[in-house]
A = this chain, B = another copy of it.
Amino acid sequence: MLNFEYKNPTKIIFGKDTIGKLATEIPATEKILLLYGGGSIFKNGIYEQVKTALSSHNLIEFGGIPPNPEYEVLMKALEIIKSEKITYLLAVGGGSVIDGTKFLSAAALYKGENPWEILTKSIRTDVGMPFGTVLTLPATGSEMNSGAVITKAETHEKFGMGGPGLFPQFSILDPQVIHSIPPHQLANGITDAFTHVLEQYMTYPTQAFLQDRFSESILQTLIEVAPMIMENPFYHEAASNFMWCCTMALNGLIQKGVPTDWAIHAIGHELTALYGIDHARTLAIIAPSHYRYNFETKKKKLAQFAERVFGITTGSTEEKANAGIDKMEAFFHSLNINTRLSEYVEVYDGTAEKIAKRFTDRGWLGLGEYKTLSPSDVEKIVKMSY
């Protein structure tokens, strides 16, 4: 186990009919900017619940934060924060709205000249404007971590950012929100959470026995509840487990003391930037190829995954490891998630080279748990996924 530090101060308020607790979580003295996305909160009743809970609060609104939250849009919200002297942010949405809110939390108190630097210079935020969240789409885990990914529409680039000042003060998780989520978005959420766990687990073998088992617990639970919620999103117990799995998959706990990979996300982000493919689907495209390409270093962990998560107990390490990759792919397929790039875009020739070049240009010369995957390796992985 590697040395680690862990602190996660976000208060989770979990369960049925908990959105009303907003009324007491945000002090009445704050001036709130309510942030949301494309307007689904008007259809599913969440907007009404939020407004009712905050009817005695001083609140203005900013809607229209797009999936893959764009810097250009967020800068308009920042203007309002400054001109209206906002003191508290409330994200009502999924990962995109919450990530966008984290950028605003950082930018609102940023002392430098240009908040763009927070992204390009990887400036860590120690103190941000306080914010809370009401999660409407379980998937990214952003509701209980301090990281965010922001997109610059102009250059099709994604930038990570974060810092200990960017944990939500609270996050309200009412599993009833999944009632109105369309099946393809539910499938995306399951795939996203599943891959988050894989990125922190599927490395060379370590002796972090407990972290391994926690990761396997989340994977097993996602596999168990996925068909239940896909069939019936009103199955409250399944929805609850799904929602809590998504949070636990990326709240920092399972990554502590272990090596992590994250090459799938790094490559997947490029597919979203280039073709607008849903984030979760880019992960399902890249993961199988990544594991097949890096089979030698990962085969022991892949075999453990096959054995413990899918119950494959016979065969050599290699056979089990391969069966594990196949089962993972079959799981994505069971969610109607395609796993080949050619199933998403018609003309993809040159994609691999293009992504490799972008990595070279940025100086990203070593990805993966060993930091040894070169742009040429990335090119081969992407080609394998055609």
Binding site for B on A (CB under 8 A): 1-16, 18, 175, 207-210, 213-214, 216-218, 220-221, 224-225, 237-238, 240-241, 244-245, 248, 256-257
Contacts and interface: CB of A to CB of B under 8 A. Distances in A.
Contacts of A216: 213, 217
B14 A257 contact: yes
Given A208-B241, A210-B248, A221-B213, A5 B1 contact: no
A5 B144 CA distance: 13
Contact of A217 (B18, B210, B257): B210
Give how many copies assemble into the complex.
2
A257 B244 contact: yes
16 contacts: A1-B15, A1-B237, A1-B241, A1-B244, A5-B12, A6-B11, A7-B11, A207-B237, A207-B238, A207-B240, A208-B241, A209-B225, A209-B241, A213-B220, A213-B221, A240-B257
Contact of A14 (B4, B209, B241): B4
Contacts of A220: 213
Contacts of A210: 217-218, 221, 241, 244-245, 248
Given A4-B15, A14-B256, A208-B241, 15 more contacts: A1-B14, A3-B14, A3-B18, A5-B14, A7-B9, A8-B8, A209-B221, A210-B244, A210-B245, A213-B216, A213-B217, A213-B218, A213-B220, A214-B217, A244-B257
